[in-house]
C-alpha cells in the first residue's frame, strides 16, 4: 500500500515541494490509496490525490516504476478515474504508478490570474513544482522525463497537453481524451465554468479581449511545437448519435466542441511535421464509456514509450510567453516591457536563434570545458554583427547577452497593438 511505502521511503522533501505536506494516507484497496496534502497553493489549503501502485510493488523493493499522471475533467475530482472511470482495472498487471490529483471543479490546471492579483488557486505550481517532486521523493519512480507521462479527459485533456507543452522536460508522452485543447474555440464558454470554483469568466487567464496573449500562453494548440519529441495521443468523438456507447446529439453540448478543438491541435501538429496517434472515432458522446475505452487503448503506447523512450532532438526549440524560462539546460531571460511570445530555436552547442523584442540573456547548458574561451558571433535581423569572446563558467556554461530589436509598446494581441518580432542569430566556436 502507499501508506506502507511512505514509511519505507521517507526521503527528505526537495526545496520545490517544501510547502507540500502529507497530512493523511488512507488505504482504499491493496493497490489504491487516497493521500491528503496541505499546500497554500490551493483554496482551503488541502487537496487529495489518489495513487495506484502496480501489482508486486511491495514485493520488489529495488524496482523503480514510471508514472502516469491522470487528470480529471471539469466538475470532477481526484476520485473520478477510480469511481466513474476504470483506471484500477485498466492498469492492473501493468508496470506503472498512476497518480490522480485534484485540479478543482474548473481550475483549468492553471495559476489563476485573478485580475492581475494572482493568489489562489495555483494549480500549475502545485502539480508541477510540488506534487511531482514529492512523488519522486517518496515513491520508487523513474524520476526523469523518460519515466513520466500525462493524460486526461475534457478539462484534464487540456491540462495534460498544456502541462506537456509548457514543461516538455517533464514528460515523454501526453494524451488527451475529448480534450479542450484549443481555448480559442468558444473561449467565454470555457472561462465561465470558473464559477464552479467561485470565479468568473476573467478569473483564470483574464478577459479574452484584453488578455488574449495570456490565454495563448497556456493553450496547447498555440504551443504545439513544444511537443516535438514527445509521444502524443489525441482521441475524440464528434458528438453525433450512433456511437457504440450511446450519447451524442443535441443533448451533448460538449463533444462537438472538443472535437473541433482536437482537430485544430491535430492539424497544428501536422503542420509542424510532428507525428501523433490521432483517433477521431466519429459518433459518440462526452461520457465515461468513451474515456474508459480511450485509456485502455492508449496505455499500451504509453508503456511502449516508457520501455523505449523517444530520442530527444539534439536541437532545442521552445516557444513561450514567459519572460524567463528554462528548457533542457538552456535558460532564457527576455528583457521587455510587454507580455508576448518569444522563440528559442536551433539551439545546439554551436549556437542558437532567438526571436522576440527588447534584449535577452541566454545561459547555455554546461557543454563546454570549464573556463574555456569561445568566439561568439551575434547577428541581428537588421544585419548588425557583433563578435566577442565568452568564457565558460566552472560548470561549462556560457552566458551571452544579445539584442533582439525595438521593444513593442503594448501587450501582444491587445486591441490596437501591433507586435513585431525580431530574430537574432548566435554562433559559438
CA gap 26, 28 in Å, rounded: 6
- Catalytic site residue 162? no
Predicted pLDDT at 191: 82
What would the pLDDT profile of 295-317 be if each residue is shown by its tens digit? Answer: 999 999 999 999 998 888 999 99
Domain boundaries, the chain: 2-307, 316-428
Catalytic-role residue among 129, 182, 286, 425 = 286
Antiparallel, parallel or unpaired: β 173-177 and 148-153: parallel
Q: Where are the beta strands (DSSP E) in 102-210?
A: 148-153, 173-177
CA gap 125, 110 in Å, rounded: 8
Fold of the CATH domain 2-307: Rossmann fold (3.40.50)
- Catalytic site residue 335? no
Read off the pTM: 0.96
What would the pLDDT profile of 342-398 be if each residue is shown by its tens digit? Answer: 999 999 999 999 999 999 999 999 999 999 999 999 999 999 999 999 999 999 999
Predicted pLDDT at 18: 66
CA gap 338, 151 in Å, rounded: 33
Residues with Cβ within 8 Å of residue 307, at least 6 apart in sequence: none
Specify which residues 26 forms β-bridges with.
34
What CA–CA distances, in Å, run from 375 to 67, 91, 109, 318, 428? 43, 53, 43, 25, 6
Catalytic-role residue among 154, 162, 202, 320 = 154
- Catalytic site residue 252? no
Of the pLDDT bands very low, low, confident and very high (cuts 50, 70, 90), residue 2 is low
Coil, strand or helix at 71: strand
Question: Is residue 7 pLDDT above 60, yes or no?
Answer: no
> How far apart are the two ends of the chain, measured CA to CA in Å?
54
Amino acid at each position: 500500500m502507499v501508506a506502507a511505502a511512505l514509511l519505507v521511503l521517507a526521503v527528505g522533501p526537495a526545496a520545490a515541494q517544501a510547502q507540500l505536506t502529507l497530512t493523511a494516507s488512507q488505504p482504499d484497496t491493496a493497490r489504491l490509496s487516497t493521500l491528503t496534502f496541505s499546500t497554500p497553493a490551493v483554496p482551503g489549503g488541502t487537496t487529495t490525490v489518489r495513487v495506484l501502485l502496480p501489482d508486486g510493488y511491495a514485493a520488489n523493493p529495488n524496482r523503480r516504476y514510471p508514472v502516469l499522471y491522470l487528470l480529471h475533467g471539469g466538475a470532477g475530482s481526484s476520485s473520478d478515474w477510480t469511481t466513474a472511470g476504470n483506471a484500477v482495472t485498466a492498469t492492473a498487471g501493468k508496470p506503472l504508478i498512476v497518480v490522480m490529483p485534484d485540479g478543482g471543479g474548473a481550475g483549468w490546471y492553471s495559476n489563476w490570474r485573478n485580475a492581475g492579483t494572482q493568489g489562489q488557486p495555483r494549480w500549475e505550481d502545485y502539480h508541477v513544482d510540488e506534487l511531482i517532486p514529492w512523488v519522486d521523493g517518496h515513491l520508487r519512480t523513474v524520476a526523469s522525463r523518460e519515466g513520466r507521462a500525462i493524460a486526461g479527459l475534457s478539462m484534464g485533456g487540456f491540462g495534460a497537453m498544456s502541462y506537456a507543452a509548457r514543461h516538455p522536460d517533464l514528460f515523454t508522452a501526453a494524451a488527451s481524451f475529448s480534450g479542450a485543447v484549443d481555448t480559442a474555440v468558444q473561449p467565454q464558454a470555457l472561462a465561465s465554468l470558473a464559477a464552479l470554483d467561485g470565479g468568473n469568466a476573467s478569473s483564470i487567464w483574464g478577459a479574452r479581449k484584453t488578455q488574449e496573449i495570456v490565454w495563448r500562453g497556456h493553450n496547447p494548440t498555440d504551443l504545439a511545437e513544444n511537443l516535438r519529441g514527445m509521444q502524443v495521443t489525441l482521441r475524440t468523438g464528434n458528438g453525433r448519435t450512433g456511437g457504440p456507447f450511446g450519447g451524442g446529439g443535441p443533448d451533448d453540448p460538449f463533444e462537438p466542441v472538443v472535437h473541433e478543438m482536437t482537430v485544430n491541435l491535430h492539424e497544428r501538429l501536422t503542420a509542424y511535421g510532428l507525428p501523433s496517434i490521432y483517433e477521431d472515432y466519429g459518433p459518440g458522446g462526452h461520457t465515461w464509456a468513451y474515456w474508459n475505452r480511450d485509456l485502455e487503448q492508449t496505455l499500451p503506447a504509453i508503456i511502449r514509450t516508457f520501455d523505449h523512450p523517444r530520442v530527444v532532438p539534439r536541437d532545442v526549440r521552445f516557444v513561450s510567453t514567459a519572460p524567463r524560462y528554462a528548457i533542457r539546460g538552456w535558460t532564457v531571460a527576455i528583457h521587455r516591457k510587454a507580455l508576448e511570445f518569444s522563440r528559442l530555436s536551433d539551439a545546439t552547442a554551436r549556437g542558437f536563434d532567438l526571436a522576440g523584442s527588447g534584449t535577452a540573456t541566454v545561459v547555455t547548458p554546461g557543454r563546454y570545458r570549464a573556463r574555456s574561451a569561445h568566439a561568439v558571433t551575434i547577428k541581428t535581423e537588421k544585419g548588425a554583427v557583433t563578435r566577442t569572446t565568452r568564457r565558460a563558467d566552472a560548470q561549462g556554461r556560457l552566458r551571452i547577452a544579445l539584442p533582439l530589436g525595438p521593444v513593442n509598446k503594448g501587450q501582444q494581441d491587445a486591441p490596437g497593438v501591433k507586435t513585431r518580432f525580431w530574430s537574432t542569430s548566435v554562433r559559438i566556436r
